[in-house]
Amino acid sequence: MNYKKDRTGDVPFGLHDSKIKQVEFKEDTLFLHMDEIYRLDDDEKPLTGTIEFTKTDKDECSIMVFNRPFGYDGQKNFSGECISLDEYNEKYTSAEFEIVTEGYNGYDTIFQGWIWRKDEDPIFAIMNIWNMGDMIYHIK
């Protein structure tokens, strides 16, 4: 089943607690392969699938990876790096990005959450996706 989230409507899915297992680009289309996508009805039923972002500008997509949580030990500044999605794929091979907060603002989609790698503490990160097309949920 395919569901399209356009700029004016809602889709009955939420991504809180979902994990991005793989980030993939094909030309100007971004695919996020998910472990679970939650159907927002009475019982929040988990489903599997892929999210497709059409008309994506790869150069405008990035991930801010924090060295420590913002505000940690009274420090109110950012410590970390901002990397491209290609750099993320290279640097965080086989990692999972757990979405804690999702935001949709015009052509920007922002996911905040944790990068999980085997046998390591999670790292806080913010993923920014810029696309002029649709966000399509491909549910298996």
- Candidate CATH numbers 3.30.420, 2.70.50, 2.30.310, 3.40.50; the one for domain 2-139: 2.30.310
The pLDDT of residue 117: 92
**Run means of pLDDT, 10 residues per run, the chain, 140 residues:** 74 89 96 93 84 96 82 66 96 95 92 93 94 92
Which residue is it, tokens 């809180």?
16
Task: Enter the pTM of the model.
Answer: 0.88
pLDDT of 77 reads 67
Does residue 132 contact residue 107 with C-beta atoms inside 8 Å?
A: yes
Measured in degrees and rounded to the nearest 5, phi and psi for residue 94 equal 60, 20
- C-beta of residue 79 within 8 angstroms of C-beta of residue 92: no
Which pLDDT belongs to residue 45?
A: 81
* Mean pLDDT taken over the chain: 89
In angstroms, the first-to-last Cα distance of the chain is 7
User: What are the boundaries of each domain within the chain?
Assistant: 2-139
Q: Cβ neighbours of residue 70 under 8 Å, at least 6 residues apart?
A: 76, 78, 124
**Residue whose structure tokens are 């790698």:** 117
Q: Tally the C-alpha atoms within 13 A of residue 13's C-alpha that lie toward its C-beta.
A: 23
28 three-class SS: coil
